[in-house]
Amino acid sequence: MVQPKPGTVWFVGAGPGDPDLITVKGRGLIERAGAILFAGSLVSEAATRWAPADCVIVDSKDMTLEDMSAWLITQAARCETVVRLQTGDPGLYGALIELVQPLDAAGVPVQVVPGVSSAMASAAAAVESLTLPEVTQTVILTRMEGRTPMPDGESLQELAAHHSTLCIFLSITLMGQVTAALRAAGWSPDAPVVVVHKASWPGEEKIVRGTVATIQALCREAKLVSQSMIIASPTLGARHWTTLAKSKLYDASFTHRFRQASVPASQLTLDTP
């Protein structure tokens, strides 16, 4: 007897919190899912609201990795579309590969749908750009060492020595160590830092602005102990700068394949008054 082919398990990035920030493709998968396993400790249950009435929906917050793998395999045996709904983007600080390996071993097809990371949502909430011409063109996504050790060469102090943008995940309870690492890497006590708690979550988002010297006390005062993105960057506050190096792409003196320069470069300055 020929065994029926299992359904596909889709790892879908639910985004940072606001259910409306899930991708159109992710929402479409939820709308036709036969089973959904969502990370209830981090993903709003509202993200499952588009599911069919007969969809089996389970919160994974009390499950082990083995429990989750077994559940996904069982549901794939009976459903064409199974969704594992993860916070942010599945490829960032999620157990994606740990869950995919047992599915591969069981012959269950797997697909991944990216999602909006809390790093991007936090920058958006604070109306900040993570990169700016002639300031930094590099963004480092990292975390402070905790129970999970950091590989050699990836301590926060070593990464911070680049003085580029740092988006620091999973580290709000280690803020003292974060600021100590920044100071040790040569960041000024006055260097700006922004912390965004539950970026995009309706009615729950908090934005705390400070400096390397003040941000720990400000976060303690705001009672931030979880789900907070720390951004340290030389670009922070650029919205209010009086001078700004502008992108060459939109410069009237810059020619590219879609537009010819209309003004000689000698007539323009990169600095705004």
pLDDT by residue, tens only, the chain of 273 residues: 556 789 999 999 999 999 999 999 999 999 999 999 998 888 878 889 999 999 999 999 999 999 999 999 999 999 999 999 999 999 999 899 999 999 999 999 999 999 999 999 999 999 999 999 999 999 999 999 988 889 999 999 999 999 999 999 999 999 999 999 999 999 999 999 999 999 999 999 999 999 999 999 999 999 999 999 999 999 999 999 999 987 766 665 566 566 666 666 555 554 443
- Residue 80 CA to its chain's centroid (Å): 29
Percent helix, strand and coil across the chain, each to the nearest 5: 30, 20, 50
Determine whether 190 is exposed, middle or buried from the number of CB atoms within 10 Å of its CB (0-12, 13-18, 19+): exposed
Task: Name the 3-class secondary structure at 166.
Answer: strand
Domains of the chain: 8-113 (3.40.1010.10), 118-240 (3.30.950.10), 243-273 (no CATH)
Residue 188 and residue 3 in contact, taking contact as beta carbons nearer than 8 Å: no
**Would you give the end-to-end CA distance of the chain in angstroms?**
78
Rg of the chain in Å (alpha carbons):
22
Report the relative pairing of strands 81-86 and 8-13 from DSSP bridges: parallel
DSSP H helical segments within the chain, as ranges?
Answer: 24-32, 65-76, 96-105, 118-125, 156-160, 175-184, 215-221
Query: Could you give the CA distance from residue 170 to residue 253 in angstroms, rounded to a whole number?
Result: 44
